[in-house]
Amino acid sequence: MKLTISRDTLLEQLNHVIGAIEKKHTKKILENLYISVKEKEIVFIGTDLEIELSSSVEIIPDIEGSVTTSARKMLDICKALPSECFILLETDENRLYLKGVRSRFELTTLPSEDYPLLDDIEFSHEVTIPEKSLKELFDNTAFSMANQDVRYYLNGLYLDVNKNIIKTVTTDGHRLAISEYASDESTNGSANSIIIPRKGVLELSRLLDGTSELPLTLYLSDNHIRVKKGNIRFTSKLIDGKYPDYQAAIPASSAYQIELDRLTFRDTLARVAILSNEKFRGIRLRFLDGIMTLHSTNPEKEMAEEEMDVNYNGELLEIGFNVSYLLDAVNHINSETIVLHISNPDSSALLTVLGDASTKYVVMPIRL
């Protein structure tokens, strides 16, 4: 293998795929990057056996071939080289050479035929959605995925596709986030529901452009999801499990709907949270005579309290929450006004945007 490529182009390609490669792995080859040069294209692939990222660029090589080498070392070298310089990539036996005008780097390699590339996958469903809308669905819900929960099916994002409605749902058992996108056109194929693993969700979201209205196609099978964006291809295995009935966790009705200025509520929560218990993060909301009082204490017997005017005219109502869960939900609502739906101290709270039910957040109460 031998070719010349600009440092900036090489760095861009490496950044596209590096997220799929582990820094340390018991299998050394999974710390490596797969590079293949044939015809007029160079392809870079990274995988951790759960997700695979590939990126390609047109190029005219001197000699075709393929190799695997340390992804992190190659990335660090490219970052350290001057911008706009050109690099000669050349292999010789079990070595990969990176040569600049006055620089020379020599990396060890492993055989490319040992690299665990994904086999050809037959996809049975296709879902088309604007790139911006898909990123919004992910961003609105990804934060409440579980992390290394024994209930493995919670360590990911539930993608529910039904005719012209696409929903993303996440929960860690203490809170739930749901967001939906309604298309004018029905999706190709019957209804389909999958669970994308946590790392796949984070990497795919990183690749998506939040301003692009161009359509993206999601290719779905029983075991995989694939997304192609320009010269980048993302593939992820799916979590094999039954997702809980999320609809049952959403309060069907609420006794009170309290409208709140989002920024004021967020800042008040953040201030009162300073003196909350660092482990349990508990905060009490007290409603009475048009005033919401936010109260927190900690084991050092320190206390914080602040009041807000609200549209509440019911009897005294006190309810406790994990303030981190409330702040996460409030920070992911893109609206000036939010609505807090509550009924009693033992029922979950629902947070929505005023006049828009496409995104919902459910937070379970805690006893203080």
Q: What is the pLDDT of residue 50?
A: 95
Kindly state whether residue 14 falls inside one of the protein's structural domains.
Answer: yes
End-to-end CA distance of the chain: 65
Degrees (nearest 5) of the Cα angle 288, 334, 247? 75
Burial of 220 (0-12, 13-18, 19+ CB in 10 A): buried
pLDDT of residue 93: 87
Measure Cα distances from 181 to 128, 132, 314, 363 in Å.
11, 11, 35, 22
Cα separation, 368 vs 272, in Å, equals 15
C-alpha 74/C-alpha 14 separation (Å) is: 8
Which are the contacts of 91, defined by CB distance < 8 A and separation ≥ 6? 1, 2, 65, 67, 97, 109
Q: Pick the last residue of a domain from 186, 218, 247.
A: 247
> In terms of domains, do 314 and 331 share one?
yes
Which pLDDT score, from 0 to 100, does residue 119 have? 77
The secondary structure of residue 163, as a DSSP letter, is: T
Residues 6+ apart with CB under 8 A from 74: 14, 33, 98, 107
In a domain, 314, yes or no: yes
**Mean pLDDT on 187-201:** 83
Which token pair is 111?
A: 């055989």
Tens digit of pLDDT for each residue in 153-162?
Answer: 999 999 999 8
330 and 302 in a common domain: yes
Residues 133 and 237 in one domain: yes
Same domain? 131 vs 204: yes
What average pLDDT score do residues 39-53 get? 96
**Domain end call among 114, 134, 159:** 114
Decide if 120 is inside a domain. Answer: no
pLDDT category, 97, cuts 50, 70, 90?
Answer: very high
**CATH code: domain of residue 280:** 3.10.150.10
Pair (284, 203) in one structural domain:
no
Looking at 52, 80, 114, the residue that finishes a domain is 114
119 assigned to some structural domain: no
Domain membership flag for residue 74: yes
Q: Is the pLDDT of residue 57 over 60?
A: yes
Across the chain, mean pLDDT equals 95
pLDDT digits (tens, 9 = 90+) for 319-366: 999 999 999 999 999 999 999 999 999 999 999 999 998 999 999 999
Task: Looking at the structure, tell me whether residues 145 and 97 fall in a common domain.
Answer: no
Cα(323)–Cα(284) distance, rounded to whole angstroms?
Answer: 9
202 and 256 inside one domain = no
Q: Is there a domain that residue 264 lies in?
A: yes
Nearest to 52 by CA among 114, 125, 117: 117
Q: Which tokens is 315 given?
A: 């009897």
Grade residue 70 by pLDDT with cuts at 50, 70 and 90.
very high
Same domain, 101 and 132: no
Pairing of strands 95-99, 104-110: antiparallel
- Whether 187 shows a pLDDT value over 70: the answer reads no
pLDDT tops 70 at residue 186: no
Residue 189 pLDDT > 70? no
Same domain, 136 and 222: yes
* pLDDT value of position 184: 74
Please, which residues have CB within 8 angstroms of residue 72's CB and are 6 or more apart in sequence? Answer: 18, 21, 23, 31
In a domain, 368, yes or no: no
Asked if the model's pLDDT at residue 262 lies above 80, the reply is yes
Number of compact structural domains in the chain: 3
Q: Is residue 26 part of a domain?
A: yes
- Whether residues 109 and 134 fall in one domain: no
Interval 115-164: pLDDT, tens: 999 878 999 999 999 999 999 999 999 999 999 999 999 999 999 998 88
One domain for residues 185 and 261: no
Q: Which residues constitute the domain of residue 327?
A: 251-363
Q: What is the pTM of this model?
A: 0.93
The pLDDT value given to residue 190: 58
Residues 138, 28: one domain?
A: no
**What is the 3-class SS of 57-72, one letter each residue?**
EECCCCECEEEEEEHH
